[in-house]
């Protein structure tokens, strides 16, 4: 599993450089995507959407697919997937790619997996069961952590609520991390299923002590969950940055694995670059 994380300083979006990036970048997404991006009232929302649309195009371009040939479709549940006939390229025989894009505040991320072996199991082709979610480790100013958790209480199981209010109590930063770990894991899992908010979050339970995931009370099998962290370049002192979870269905009867992944390993890699670096790279490759 690979994750590309793009950090965005929203205070720079009114600069001439970002206006050029925005205008030129729009040329390389299809008309429906352009229409959707232009509907956003706030420039930061439009720019996040543009980067999210460009991410899979850059990934495919780096694998020899011209940006003009890239095509996407959606499942009945509205999950996007790549429908470009990649296998028409001789060097890409048996190539499968699953991906998912997410964003929060000043971070846009894409998780993807590329498989090239004919016997590699791929679940639910063509969209594949891959999902990712990220959240900034903060709460709105008007809330305490306890009050904030109560606003989303319907998404947590009784056990999860109990673990968020342990005895003896833990530090506020640890409790906040634990809450967003539960939340992003659930989001990543349902996004991988292609269901998103259509799936009752209370059906999913993460046991921090046993590092175990259950769905409908049954231990989940055949999945991996990679936990990653991304610093916030614009964060103030004490800012914890972002937490993210990338989920993938690998099949089989092995109990789901929840791992705190290093930035790079044989099983997971995380690449972090700024929005300026990403846009410059994308335009350079496409033009």
Listed residue (215, 217, 226, 219) closest to 259, CA to CA: 226
3-state secondary structure string across 133-174: EEEECCCCCCCCHHHHHHHCHHHCCHHHHHHCCCCCCCCHHH
Bigger pLDDT: 117 vs 179? 179
Structure tokens given for 24: 């030129």
Confidence of residue 77 (pLDDT cuts 50, 70, 90): confident
Domains of the chain (ranges, CATH numbers): 2-286 (3.90.470.20)
Give pLDDT, residue 272: 97
Cα 145 from Cα 137, distance rounded (Å): 11
Does 83 have pLDDT greater than 90?
no
Q: Is the pLDDT of residue 240 over 60?
A: yes
Report the length, in residues, of the chain. 287
pLDDT greater at residue 89 or residue 207: 207
pLDDT band at 184 (very low <50, low <70, confident <90, very high): very high
pLDDT for res 95 = 63
Question: Is the peptide bond prior to 126 cis by the omega test (within 30 degrees of 0)?
Answer: yes
What is the pTM for the complete model shown? 0.92
Give the mean pLDDT of 236-241.
81
Q: What is the mean pLDDT of residues 208-236?
A: 94
In Å, how far from its chain's centre is CA 149?
A: 22
**Higher per-residue confidence, 263 vs 99:** 99
- pLDDT for the residue 207: 96
**pLDDT higher than threshold 70 for residue 132:** yes
The pLDDT of residue 169 is 82
**Amino acid 92: pLDDT:** 54
- Residue 275 pLDDT level (bands cut at 50, 70, 90): very high
- Identify the band that residue 117 occupies on the pLDDT scale cut at 50, 70 and 90: low
Q: In the prediction, which pLDDT does 55 show? A: 98
The per-residue pLDDT for range 20-32, each reduced to its tens digit, is 999 999 999 999 9
Mean pLDDT of 113-125: 62
Supply the mean pLDDT for the chain: 89
| Cβ proximity of 185 and 205 under 8 Å | no
């Amino acid at each position: 599993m690979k994750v590309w994380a793009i950090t965005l300083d929203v205070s720079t979006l009114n600069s001439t450089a970002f206006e050029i990036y925005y205008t030129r970048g729009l040329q390389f997404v299809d008309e429906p995507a352009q229409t959707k991006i232009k509907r956003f009232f706030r420039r930061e929302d439009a720019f996040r959407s543009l980067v999210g649309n460009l991410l899979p195009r850059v990934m495919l371009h780096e694998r020899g697919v011209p940006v003009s040939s890239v095509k996407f479709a959606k499942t009945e549940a509205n999950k996007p997937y790549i429908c470009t006939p990649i296998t028409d390229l001789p060097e890409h025989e048996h190539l499968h790619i699953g991906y998912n894009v997410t964003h929060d505040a000043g971070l846009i991320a894409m998780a993807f997996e590329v498989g090239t072996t004919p016997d590699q199991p791929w679940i639910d082709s063509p969209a594949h069961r891959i999902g990712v979610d990220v959240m900034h480790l903060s709460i709105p100013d008007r809330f305490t952590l306890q009050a904030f958790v109560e606003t989303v209480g319907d998404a947590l199981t009784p056990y999860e609520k109990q673990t968020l209010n342990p005895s003896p109590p833990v530090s506020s930063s640890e409790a906040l991390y634990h809450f967003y770990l539960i939340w992003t894991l659930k989001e990543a899992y349902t996004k991988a299923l292609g269901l998103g908010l259509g799936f009752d979050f209370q059906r999913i339970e993460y046991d921090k002590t046993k590092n175990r995931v259950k769905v409908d009370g049954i231990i989940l099998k055949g999945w991996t969950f990679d936990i990653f962290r991304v610093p916030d370049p614009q964060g103030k002192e004490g800012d914890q940055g972002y937490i993210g979870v990338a989920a993938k269905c690998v099949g089989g009867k092995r109990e789901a694995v929840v791992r705190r992944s290093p930035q790079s390993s044989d099983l997971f890699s995380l690449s972090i670059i700024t929005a300026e670096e990403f846009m410059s790279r994308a335009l350079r490759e496409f033009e």
